[in-house]
Amino acid sequence: MSPTPTPAQTSALAWIAALVADPARWLPASAWADRQIRAFVPACYQIAFDDRPYPDLAKLPPPAGKALAQYKQLERNQSQSVRTRQARVLLQALAKAGIAPDENSAREIYFHLGQLPGQPHPAGFWLSPALPNECF
């Protein structure tokens, strides 16, 4: 059973609600000097393969296999943090290899790599924006 708020608590909550509902009322005009909307660019991405045996990257079309092969932690852990510029290089390598993403959303970019020769299961690879505390 929740306790009934006191009139002072109710008043304080109403004051906080009004404060956050209209910040332009109390923030200085300089807070709104730059109204340009900018895209969020994460500091790093998590890259990973699906929970399957690690694929033989030599079976991927060049330059995708070569680009992915440089990430040794990816092979050991099936995931790794990479800086945004490294993620862009990976995406460009996959595009040059003719591998298009199956999903491209704010949450993840997913590539179904298909059944690679000699692999028991289809392979999948994804990139996902990481939170700052997940970077390296």
pLDDT digits (tens, 9 = 90+) for 56-86: 888 888 899 899 999 988 888 888 999 999 9
Cβ proximity of 129 and 47 under 8 Å: no
Residue 117 confidence (pLDDT) above 80: no
The answer to the question of residue 32 being in a domain is: no
pLDDT band at 97 (very low <50, low <70, confident <90, very high): very high
* pLDDT reported for residue 104: 95
pLDDT > 90 fraction of the chain, expressed in percent and rounded: 43
Compute the average pLDDT of residues 75-104.
93
Q: Is residue 21 part of a domain?
A: no
**Integer angstrom CA distances of residue 36 from 32, 33, 39:** 10, 9, 10
In the chain, the number of structural domains is: 1
Instruction: Give the pLDDT confidence of 35-63 residue by residue, as tens digits.
Output: 777 888 899 999 999 877 788 888 888 89
Q: Is residue 5 part of a domain?
A: no
Q: Which domain holds residue 92?
A: 44-134
Q: Which helix (H) or strand (E) holds 104?
A: strand 103-104
The structure's pTM equals: 0.68
Q: What gap in Å lies between CA 20 and CA 25, rounded to an integer?
A: 10
Is 51 within the bounds of a domain?
yes
Residues 120 and 116: their CA atoms lie apart, in Å, by 8
Single out the residue of 45, 50, 55, 52 nearest to residue 108, CA to CA.
45
109 within some domain: yes
105 lies in some domain: yes
Comparing 123 with 98, the larger pLDDT belongs to: 98
Token pair listed for 81: 């943090």
Closest by CA to 124, choosing from 79, 84, 86, is 79
Mean pLDDT of 1-30: 86
